[in-house]
Amino acid sequence: MTDRPLTLMAVHAHPDDEATGTGGVLARYAAEGIRTVLVTCTDGGCGDGPGGIKPGDPGHDPAAVALMRRQELEASCDVLKVSDLEMLDYADSGMTGWPSNDALGSFWQTPVQEGAARLAELMRHYRPDVVVTYDENGFYGHPDHIQAHRITMAALEMTALTPKVYWTTMPRSMMQRFGEIMREFHEDMPEPDSAETAAMAEIGLPDDEITTWVDTTAFSCQKFDALAAHASQGENIFFLKMGKERFGELMGMETFVRVQDATGSAIPENDLFAGLR
């Protein structure tokens, strides 16, 4: 045994991703005395500007947006009691098909080995016991999420570390419930066409393929407040429209697929640190 604290490292693409997918586990494990390290890969410059100005519209300033989103990210980390925030500060690549995908210096255009080498250095410094990131499709196909997955897995190969590794996911039963709730809040929302339905059906996993179900209900208010800290992106954060009580009912369980483990702990499991303490 050593005096080194148990450590969780979450690797995310943009400011606000930390709250959406892992806000519950970040808050829960911080409360349990575990060191929580957040690595945010991009500057978020393709987010909305003040007043909801969209990328590409007159008056949208990516540098100003990036500064604003960093401040919001720091506020979110304060809410979640994140121990250490590390920013790689690559330029936000934007959504699939945006011209910013091809911009020099964007995260999507960064060689995987370059980003991985920087992340590997952080891994050697913090020596995480658990690493969380996205699956190979970035959960829903966003270029920066896919790139975050790629550099994380490559960085792990560069180190001699053997943490438990998890990919964020969502049970298909919950995805269906989300669809129902979105239509409840947006009565005029058209029914999805066949292509949209097929794409949605590929997001998440069948419930029985999820290895890890972590109950974070007690921390759902912190998770909500962390999302709310990203106020500039509020128009894009559907969950904030629910209110805290409904949010807690729906978002109190965070789910993952375990893809690397040296502990031999049985699955399904209800703790990312099962077998480590």
Q: How would you class 4 by CB atoms within 10 Å of its CB: exposed for 0-12, middle for 13-18, buried for 19 or more? A: exposed
Please tell me what DSSP assigns to residue 10.
E
Among candidates 126, 142, 127, which has minimal Cα distance to 42?
Answer: 142
CA–CA gap between residue 75 and residue 95 (Å, rounded): 25
Please state the length of the chain: 277
Other beta carbons within 10 angstroms of residue 33's beta carbon come to 8
Integer distance in angstroms from the first to the last C-alpha of the chain?
A: 11
- Which residue shows structure tokens 């979105």? 182
The most distant pair of C-alpha atoms in the chain lies apart, rounded to whole Å, by 58
CA–CA gap between residue 237 and residue 17 (Å, rounded): 10
pLDDT along the chain (277 residues), means of 10: 84 96 97 98 94 90 95 98 98 92 94 98 98 92 95 97 96 72 60 58 82 96 95 79 82 95 96 96
Q: Which residues contact 157 (CB under 8 A, 6 or more apart)?
A: 116
Other beta carbons within 10 angstroms of residue 164's beta carbon come to 25
pLDDT of the residue at 175 = 67
CA–CA gap between residue 21 and residue 132 (Å, rounded): 10
pLDDT of the residue at 1 = 46
Q: Are 25 and 71 in contact (CB under 8 A)?
A: no
pTM of the full structure: 0.90
What DSSP string runs through 156-208? Answer: HHHSS---EEEEEE-BHHHHHHHHHHHHHH-TTPPPP-HHHHHHHHTSSB-GG
In 243-254, which positions are buried (b, 16+ CB within 10 angstroms) versus exposed (e)? eeeebbeebbbb
pLDDT of the residue at 188 = 58
User: What is the separation of C-alpha 238 from the centre of its chain, rounded to a whole number of angstroms?
Assistant: 15
Residue type, 36: T
User: What is the separation of C-alpha 21 from the centre of its chain, rounded to a whole number of angstroms?
Assistant: 5
Encoding tokens for residue 230?
A: 């990203």
Q: Are 104 and 120 in contact (CB under 8 A)?
A: no
CA–CA gap between residue 38 and residue 45 (Å, rounded): 18
Encoding tokens for residue 151?
A: 């550099």
Among candidates 80, 87, 79, which has minimal Cα distance to 29?
Answer: 80
pLDDT of the residue at 181 = 65
